[in-house]
């Protein structure tokens, strides 16, 4: 954990009118940041690795769209600050993206507890993801959610290996009904390495 916690405060939030004027440019910059933080694992799962910038962008968008003003800010900070990495971890939003509603329902029913089967391999080391606490990850009938928030806690040695680039890094899902892995590219790896402090 860094000496100073990474979190969004009221001081980071741009007032509504100013944000409205800068919105297009801010979104353009954020798209470039997100591009290297997006990793597909198999045909259905996409991981979006979050950081301060992506979460601030999300908060600003929610405030812009919902127009809740100052009263809305505490709720948005409570929702999105826990998804900002704290220096010794990576945090990802995993989305199971299936356009066809019938197929989506069938797939989600077959992927119960998938959030407990996510991992990252850093060379020989196996890092199991921890689902972020929230309700209804998998319902009683075995249906998983299409969105999951996952935390990868790394040791100092693993962080060193991640940064130095000597070891291959693999992101994977080891569910009986969905077993896929993807090698993290050197460009994405460099972008994610900035989350460690």
Tens digit of each residue's pLDDT (9 = 90 or more) over 39-95: 999 999 999 999 999 999 999 999 999 999 899 999 999 999 999 999 999 999 999
Tokens 């470039």 locate to 32
Say which residues have a Cβ less than 8 Å from residue 67's Cβ, sequence separation at least 6.
Answer: 16
Q: Residue 141 — very low, low, confident or very high, per pLDDT cuts 50/70/90?
A: confident
Q: Provide the whole-model pTM.
A: 0.92
Q: Residue 2 — very low, low, confident or very high, per pLDDT cuts 50/70/90?
A: very low
CA 5 to CA 85: how far, in whole Å? Answer: 9
CA 62 to CA 73: how far, in whole Å? Answer: 9
3-class secondary structure, 93:
strand
CA 78 to CA 175: how far, in whole Å? Answer: 31
Each domain of the chain, given as residue ranges in start order, spans 10-193
């Amino acid at each position: 954990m860094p000496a100073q916690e990474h979190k969004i405060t009221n001081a980071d939030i741009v007032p509504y009118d100013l944000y409205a004027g800068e919105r297009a440019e801010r979104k353009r910059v954020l798209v470039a940041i997100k591009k290297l933080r997006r990793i597909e694992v198999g045909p259905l799962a996409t991981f979006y690795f979050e950081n301060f910038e992506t979460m601030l962008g999300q908060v600003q968008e929610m405030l812009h769209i919902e127009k809740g003003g100052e009263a809305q800010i505490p709720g948005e900070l409570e929702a999105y600050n826990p998804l900002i990495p704290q220096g010794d971890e990576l945090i990802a939003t995993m989305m199971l993206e299936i356009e066809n509603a019938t197929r989506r329902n069938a797939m989600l029913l077959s992927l119960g507890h998938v959030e407990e089967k996510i991992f990252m391999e850093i060379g020989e080391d196996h890092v199991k993801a921890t689902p972020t606490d929230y309700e209804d990850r998998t319902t009683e009938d075995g249906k998983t959610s299409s969105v999951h928030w996952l935390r990868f806690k790394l040791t100092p040695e693993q962080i060193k290996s991640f940064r130095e680039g000597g070891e291959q890094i693999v992101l994977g899902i080891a569910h009986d009904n969905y077993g896929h892995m993807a090698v993290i590219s050197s460009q994405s790896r460099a972008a994610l390495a900035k989350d460690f402090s």
